[in-house]
Chains A and B, each alone.
Chain A
């Protein structure tokens, strides 16, 4: 059953701590994305990657880092520099440019991050 798996579902961070959110897809998609969701603000793009070993900053990249060493994996690290990390984090994937333009994005079920 193809899809996107995000883990953990809930995560707690202490002050000054880095935490890493996992995102794995078995859809054979080239492009992957990380969004942050806050109440009343919709989905804001943190980072995206259209191909392995390459990624670009989104609208709110400060305090976050990513890697894309494998096609199926796109982990997000929330660093201690992110002063307001409490949010719902969503990972998505799409066929990307190789599938032609305007491919739909498929989302995981998110990770809810809170500060202890």
Chain B
């Protein structure tokens, strides 16, 4: 019940396309859903986060869509660029508890 399942494991997108990464969770007590971006040899950095009282949050080209009834949330990257090539992790937590991370998606954007 503590797992966060992330898919796909890897994703190849052409420049200008839309990248979509999906996550699913079981624990309905989770109330915080961040996405992290990690470049090779670096630590993850917070990209965008959402709470379950909203269905969508947009920051620039990055959008989180949240479906509370389905217990799913997804990251959409619009107009994907080669510089977006990285590993993306979804995560979930409840209030002050520890973060539970998904297994990561390696995104490659080709020119």
CB distance from A46 to the nearest CB of B (A): 11
Cα distance A92–B41 in the bound complex, in angstroms: 15
Contact across chains for A107 and B45 when beta carbons are under 8 A apart: yes
Contact across chains for B96 and A90 when beta carbons are under 8 A apart: no
Contact across chains for A45 and B93 when beta carbons are under 8 A apart: no
Q: Which of A13-21, A70-78, A94-102 contacts B (4 or more CB under 8 A)?
A: A94-102
Q: Interface residue count for A (Cβ, 8 Å)?
A: 25
Q: Interface residue count for B (Cβ, 8 Å)?
A: 24
Cα distance A44–B6 in the bound complex, in angstroms: 15
Q: Which residue of A lies closest to B44 (CB)?
A: A107
Which residues between 62 and 105 of chain A lie within 8 Å of chain B, taking CB atoms?
90, 92, 96-97, 101-102, 104-105
Cα distance A58–B32 in the bound complex, in angstroms: 19
Q: Which residue of B lies closest to A33 (CB)?
A: B98
Contact across chains for B103 and A41 when beta carbons are under 8 A apart: yes
Contact across chains for A40 and B9 when beta carbons are under 8 A apart: yes
Give chain A's interface residues, CB within 8 Å of chain B.
Answer: 4, 6, 33, 40-45, 48, 50, 58, 90, 92, 96-97, 101-102, 104-110
